Amino acid sequence: MTQQRGKFISFEGIDGAGKSTHIGFVAQFLRSHGGADIELVTTREPGGTPLGEKLRDLLLHEKMHLETEALLMFASRREHIAQVIEPALARGAWVISDRFTDASFAYQGGGRGMDRAKMEALEQWVHPHLQPDLTFLFDVPLEVARARLDATRSLDKFEQEQADFFAATRQEYLRRAAQFPQRFRIIDSTQTIAAIQLQLSGMLQAELSA
Ligand SMILES: Nc1ncnc2c1ncn2[C@@H]1O[C@H](COP(=O)(O)OP(=O)(O)O)[C@@H](O)[C@H]1O
Ligand SMILES: Cc1cn([C@H]2C[C@H](O)[C@@H](COP(=O)(O)OP(=O)(O)O)O2)c(=O)[nH]c1=O
């Protein structure tokens, strides 16, 4: 009997939107409601493989040309797809990824202003047939995200960007969501954590019974 392919779920949003807060909850929900035989793989981008984690360190801390940045994001992704995502989906596991290609469109395309046709060419090259089945976009106004970030940790290269960068990043996320409404779920991340978890539970339940 051929193994049923697993599902691929990505988490997106500008820094400080609350994405990391909810990934653990979603993993826990799927473990307790998805049946004993569901295998979950939680991973992240940039990163997710030993090589990808080295690239992540460079990407988050070194200044570089915007096209170098985009190419390294997709290089990390190529490795991630080959080593982690595709094998997991093929054996029936569910993959939960903290960011995927929508982040490249949002940050390198929207935030940095890289030409969209080049972004689309990279997407077509690196994963012409793979897209997440479900993408949660945690959406908040910039000021809310910034206030949350300031309260937490020391900021990496992207988190140190200014308001206009994040305005363009957020706008590009929303454009991608409008372009792919079937897979995107936009979460109003100004709600309380409890309210968001309730909303996520309903969406996940629907996905489990699909
Ligand atoms: N809905 C929310 N309401 C209030 N605070 C939140 C909410 N979601 C997240 N936070 C807090 O905001 C900060 C940043 O959240 P985090 O999940 O790390 O964001 P991201 O992963 O999107 O950068 C954390 O301190 C977190 O506890
Ligand atoms: C995947 C990806 C991430 N990024 C950026 C967005 C984030 O600022 C940063 C790291 O991701 P993030 O998951 O936010 O890490 P953390 O929550 O630990 O800070 O990388 C891109 O610019 N392009 C991409 O394609």
Assembly ipTM:
0.96
Query: Could you read off the pLDDT of 112-127 as tens digits, one per residue?
Result: 999 999 999 999 999 9
> Cα(190)–Cα(29) distance, rounded to whole angstroms?
21
Query: Could you read off the pLDDT of 7-39 as tens digits, one per residue?
Result: 999 999 999 999 999 999 999 999 999 877 789
Q: Is 19 annotated as a binding residue?
A: yes
Q: What is the pLDDT along the chain (210 residues), one digit of tens a residue?
A: 567 899 999 999 999 999 999 999 999 999 999 877 789 999 999 999 999 999 999 999 999 999 999 999 999 999 999 999 999 999 999 999 999 999 999 999 999 999 999 999 999 999 999 999 999 999 999 999 998 887 767 889 998 888 999 999 999 999 999 999 999 999 999 999 999 999 999 999 998 887
Which residues contact ligand 1 via a Cβ below 6 A? 13, 15-21, 138, 148, 151-152, 189, 191-193, 196
Torsion of CA 151, 9, 158, 179, to 10 degrees: -120
Of 11, 14, 21, the residue with max ligand 1 atoms within 8 A of its CB, to mutate for a pocket test, comes to 21
Identify the CA nearest to 132 among candidates 177, 91, 79, 163: 177
Which residues lie below 8 Å from residue 42, measured CB to CB, with a gap of 6+? Answer: 23, 27, 96, 97, 98
A 10 A CB-CB count for 197 gives: 16
Q: Is 18 annotated as a binding residue?
A: yes
- Which one-letter DSSP state was computed for residue 94? E
Of 26, 148, 149, 193, the residue with max ligand 1 atoms within 8 A of its CB, to mutate for a pocket test, comes to 148
Which residues lie below 8 Å from residue 11, measured CB to CB, with a gap of 6+? Answer: 19, 22, 23, 26, 96, 97, 98, 99, 135, 136, 138
Identify the CA nearest to 110 among candidates 195, 17, 173: 173
The separation between the first and the last C-alpha atoms of the chain, rounded to the nearest angstrom, is 21
**Domains and their CATH numbers in the chain:** 8-209 (3.40.50.300)
Two structure tokens written together for 33: 């409601």
Identify the CA nearest to 14 among candidates 165, 201, 119, 120: 165
| Closest residue CA from atom 12 of ligand 1 | 148
Identify the CA nearest to 35 among candidates 202, 200, 205: 205
